[in-house]
Amino acid sequence: MNRVQGRRGHLAPAALALALVVSLAASLPAQGPAAAPRPPVVSADALMATLRTLSSEEFEGRGAGTPGGAKARAWVRDRLGEIGLKPVGDSFEHPFSFTPRGRGPAGGGLPAVQAVNLIGTCPGTDPSLPMMVVSAHYDHVGVRGGQIFHGADDNASGVAVLLEAAASCVRQPFRRTLIVAAFDAEEMGLQGARAFLAAPPVTKDRLALNVNLDMLARGDKGELYAAGLHHHPTLRPLLEPVAARATVRLLFGHDVPGSGADDWTLQSDHGVFHEAGIPFVYFGVEDHSDYHQPTDTADKVNAAFFANAAATVLDALRALDQGLR
Ligand SMILES: [Zn+2]
């Protein structure tokens, strides 16, 4: 996440009312004799193993263009291969460079950063359908003032769910091809998503939707948000059944223009898709006291919430795959 520093997301009253309606709906029992589909089960152990690895000291906060970032990239790249995704072109690695904003210590501009997106595909059963891009950024802010910023929630958690989604797709393919994107340099201004859309693997009109995962592991409130339905109300009926059977409180909101820091529309990689006219759904939790602090560590994660959040995302991906035009 790349939220406005020093401000925490709290819902405006209107959004809170909406969240209440959704949560009431979610608490109703399944109706009718036909058993409602249940969300998939995702292993908390597998998720936590990924989260612990990526947020460990060894990866040094995964800063874009740093040795820790390169280690994280190699680790995620190898996982994409083990899962059985297909590389895009001849590699999962898609390097790019950008010049960060700001001034160096001598007052001059900052040097260009070399970064690398990791992109794979899980071919769908109907190649004629527009594709879904499921994304999570693997970078975090690295080391500052001699302290490692571990980025367990932000965003080792999203990468862990991304890998589970990819494995689920390989086991049981979606209708549409899933493009699995682990973006770099999100924390430096959504740079990975910008590079992806500057040279997409297929033309943009073949991209139906971005599902972006960023900060999914902190169950401090037991709530997971799906943002984006304000912009894309036709997706709401696809996600309402997911909310109703979810084992977390899946709330809709944080996407209303004019609500300041409560509007997450442009605050992670999905914002770049939005600006390119590609619909998005963003999954994540509200900010917490460890957001962008060295204390965003694995021990703060509620593993049960994390597994339920991952299951909810996998359920949503299937529902979106089925229901999207
Ligand atoms: Zn962040």
Report the separation in Å between the CA atom of 141 and the middle of ligand 1, taken as the mean of its atom positions: 7
pLDDT for position 149: 97
Per residue in 279-292, pLDDT (tens digit) is: 999 999 999 999 99
C-alpha closest to that of 150 among 160, 135, 136, 139: 139
**Residue 32 alpha carbon to ligand 1 centre in Å:** 43
pLDDT at 6: 35
What fold, for 40-96+114-323? Aminopeptidase (3.40.630)
Residues 6 or more apart in contact with residue 286 via CB below 8 angstroms: 8, 9, 10, 221, 223, 225, 254
| Domain definitions of the chain by residue range | 40-96+114-323
Quote the distance between the C-alpha of residue 131 and its chain's center.
17
Model confidence over 162-200: pLDDT tens digits? 999 999 999 999 999 999 999 999 999 999 999 999 999
Ligand 1 centroid to Cα of residue 140, in Å, is 6
What is the whole-number distance in angstroms between the Cα of residue 138 and the centre of ligand 1?
A: 10
C-alpha 61 to ligand 1 mean position (Å): 11
How much distance in Å is there from the Cα of 268 to the middle of ligand 1?
8
- The rounded Å distance from CA 94 to ligand 1 centre is 21
pTM: 0.89
Q: How many CA atoms lie within 13 A of 110 on its CB side?
A: 12
CA distance 122 to 81: 11
